[in-house]
């Protein structure tokens, strides 16, 4: 403040005090009401060991709890575990569990339940969550029934020993695959557990009419106390426009806004104030399989990378609502440098590289194909690529396949140039770089590019086991730069989530790990102001 500081300051303080006095104390949370949300399909399963998609995760998060919970800023906090200690060598985690946690069937939770749940989940569809625990690999591959590194020291203490130190391990503990399920319910229900789940969560399943709605009701004996909401109703509405219309009509309290409607919502005076936007930890990009010609030649890959203007992609495919990628790692991950790690849009250089790689127009040029799976945005991206590459005299043949066929082709290494959207499971560069580019993950484990770079491998191996801190961040940044320079992955944009949240809905969190419309936030904190 420049002119007469005392006067100005006093005025501001007075104004502030008046405002606060006028507004009164913030309203206290009230119990009651049903939160109405929407899902785009019936969840295929409500069993945390078998769920692999966001729709299932949205419901599973409310029905089950994990030892650790992440808050809106992604800071790990107590969940089923009151506190935990990490050994000096960072390999042993000891969790002190709460003694007052009840399952929906009334029984108290013990450490043995966590061990049972994790061993069961390791034989499920996302075993990588538990892979770091020593002895888990044997269970995953069917050689053992128990994970030797998991020990229930007493009914309230669980000791977890890792194969090697892994800084993001605590995030894995917060992942919904690590939710705790009661053995007796699983054994008596068998496969039906997936439709009649029993957990410890603040909500339990009340009723589920397929293609119509799935309703959760408050579990009054939740260890954090009863939730404010009486119920959460997930309506099954496959079409974006339908969800938008239902929100407008007041039939939904919350809905996601896909990119195709971001402008419409922003232009609508009744809706724009309810619009909330936040970055999600995800990157959409293009990938090459370096074992398929002509992508074996790094110059060809670089040529394509230089030919694509990411902001044009955002403008057309994302309707202008999005952020061109800074690199492979989204900036919302803590420790990621703000400096860009990508090859610049430079058509002249693209043509140059093309010529060097022998791909310039002429009778000998090879046929280039782009594989992608069904979806309007993917279709648009593919057609845009085709048009853009046409301008540098490259003919791109588009091959659209359904998800199952597309996965098979990519896994088998028969797709040379394809798209990939990767959403983080946990907020750590390892989840992007090591999973997607380390040579030991070649194939279905994540490195579909068959990229093998010994230097990058070494950097990643080091960083994976280092303690969290700037040195670790630097290692990953180096690896990222190399991968981008090798043009194995062409980052296009980072995922942005948009949602319409009714003004009466309070305390609905949106962390970078949650994406609309599923949210994945703890709904027990939510209350309705009317």
Written in H, E and C, the secondary structure of 361-381 is CCCCCCCEEEEEECCHHHHHH
Tracing tokens 């400096």 back to the chain, one arrives at: 339
Shortest separation between residue 404's beta carbon and another protein, angstroms: 3
Q: Using alpha carbons, list the distances in angstroms from residue 303 to 220, 399, 472.
A: 60, 21, 31
Measured at the CA of 179, the angle between CA 176 and CA 180, to 5 degrees, comes to 170
CB of 500 to another protein, least distance (A): 15
3-state SS, 198-248, equals CCCCCEEEEEEECCCEEEEEECCCCCCCCCCCCEEEEEECCCHHHHHHHHH
Rounded to whole angstroms, how far apart are CA atoms 200 and 43?
Answer: 19
Tell me how far, at minimum, the Cβ of 26 lies from another protein, in Å: 36
Nearer to another protein, 65 or 240 (CB): 240
Q: Which two tokens stand for residue 293?
A: 């010609």
Q: Which residues bind another protein (CB under 8 A)?
A: 44-45, 52-53, 123-128, 131, 140-142, 191, 194-195, 209-213, 236-242, 245, 260-261, 263-264, 309, 311-312, 315-316, 374, 376, 379-380, 382-384, 386-388, 390, 397-405, 407-409, 411, 420, 422, 435, 443-446
Q: Max CA-CA distance within the chain?
A: 79
Please report how close the Cβ of residue 99 comes to another protein at its closest, in angstroms. 34
Is the Cβ–Cβ distance between 29 and 225 less than 8 Å?
A: no
| Closer by beta carbon to another protein, 92 or else 445 | 445
CB of 470 to another protein, least distance (A): 28
Output 299 or 400, the one with its CB closest to another protein: 400
Rounded least distance, CB 274 to another protein, Å: 18
Q: Which is nearer to another protein, 73 or 414 (CB)?
A: 414
The nearest distance, CB 446 to another protein, in angstroms, is 5
The CA distance from 370 to 389, in Å, is 11
The answer to whether the beta carbons of residues 307 and 255 sit under 8 Å apart is no
Which residue, 30 or 125, has its beta carbon nearer to another protein? 125
The Cβ of residue 167 has, within 10 Å, a number of other Cβ atoms equal to 17
Total length of the chain: 530
In whole angstroms, the minimum distance from the beta carbon of 71 to another protein comes to 25
CA atoms of 349 and 309, how far apart (whole Å): 13
Output the smallest distance, CB 375 to another protein, in A.
9
> Tokens standing for 187?
């054994």
Residue closer to another protein (CB basis): 229 or 265:
265
Which C-beta is closer to another protein: that of 50 or that of 158? 50
32 vs 320, beta carbon nearer another protein: 320
Please say which residue, 77 or 191, places its beta carbon nearer to another protein: 191
Is 15 exposed, middle or buried, given 0-12, 13-18 or 19+ CB atoms closer than 10 A?
exposed
Q: Residue 406, exposed/middle/buried by CB under 10 A (0-12, 13-18, 19+)?
A: buried
Q: Distance between CA atoms of 146 and 114, rounded to whole angstroms?
A: 12
């Amino acid at each position: 403040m420049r002119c007469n500081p005392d006067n100005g300051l006093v005025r501001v303080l007075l104004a502030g005090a008046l405002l606060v006095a006028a507004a009164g104390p913030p309203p206290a949370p009230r119990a009651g009401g049903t939160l109405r949300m929407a899902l785009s399909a019936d969840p295929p399963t409500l069993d945390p060991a078998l769920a692999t998609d966001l729709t299932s995760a949205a419901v599973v998060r409310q029905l089950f709890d994990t030892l650790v919970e992440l808050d809106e800023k992604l800071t790990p906090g107590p969940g089923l575990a009151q506190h935990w200690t990490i050994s000096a060598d960072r390999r042993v985690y000891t969790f002190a569990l709460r003694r007052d946690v009840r399952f929906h069937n009334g029984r108290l939770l013990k450490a043995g339940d966590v061990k049972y749940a994790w061993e069961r989940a390791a034989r499920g569809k996302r075993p990588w969550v538990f892979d770091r625990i020593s002895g888990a690999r044997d269970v995953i591959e069917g050689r053992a029934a128990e994970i030797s590194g998991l020990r229930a020291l007493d009914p309230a203490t669980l000791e977890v020993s890792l194969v090697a130190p892994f800084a993001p391990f605590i995030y894995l503990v917060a992942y919904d695959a690590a939710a705790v399920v009661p053995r007796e319910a699983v054994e008596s229900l068998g496969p039906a557990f997936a439709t009649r789940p029993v957990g410890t969560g603040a909500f339990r399943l009340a009723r589920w009419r397929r293609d119509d709605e799935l309703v959760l009701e408050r579990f009054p004996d939740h260890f954090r106390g009863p939730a404010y909401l009486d119920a959460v109703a997930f309506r099954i509405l496959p079409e974006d426009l339908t969800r938008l219309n239902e929100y407008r009509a007041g039939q939904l309290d919350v809905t996601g806004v896909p990119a195709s409607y971001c402008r419409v919502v922003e232009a609508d005076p009744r809706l724009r104030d309810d619009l909330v936007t936040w970055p999600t930890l995800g990157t959409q990009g293009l990938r090459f399989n370096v074992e398929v010609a002509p992508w074996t030649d790094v110059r060809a890959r670089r040529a394509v990378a230089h030919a694509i203007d990411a902001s044009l992609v955002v403008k057309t495919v994302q309707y202008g609502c999005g952020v061109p990628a800074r690199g492979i790692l989204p900036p919302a991950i803590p420790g990621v440098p703000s400096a860009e790690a990508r090859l610049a849009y430079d058509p002249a250089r693209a043509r140059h590289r093309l010529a060097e790689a022998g791909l310039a127009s002429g009778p000998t040029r090879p046929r280039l194909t782009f594989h992608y799976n069904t979806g309007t945005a993917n279709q648009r991206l593919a057609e845009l690529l085709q048009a853009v590459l046409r301008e540098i005299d490259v003919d791109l043949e588009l091959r659209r396949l359904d998800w199952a066929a597309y996965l098979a082709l990519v896994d088998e290494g028969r797709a040379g140039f394809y798209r990939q959207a990767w959403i983080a499971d946990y907020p750590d560069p390892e989840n992007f770089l090591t999973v997607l580019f380390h040579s030991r993950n070649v194939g279905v484990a994540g490195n579909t590019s068959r990229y093998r770079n010994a230097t990058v491998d070494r950097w990643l191996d080091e960083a994976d086991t280092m303690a969290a801190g700037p040195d670790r961040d630097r290692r990953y940044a180096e690896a990222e730069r190399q991968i981008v320079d090798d043009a194995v992955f062409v980052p296009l944009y980072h995922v942005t989530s948009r949602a319409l949240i009714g003004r009466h809905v309070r305390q609905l969190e949106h962390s970078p790990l949650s994406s609309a419309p599923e949210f994945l936030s703890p709904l027990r904190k939510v209350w309705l102001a009317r």
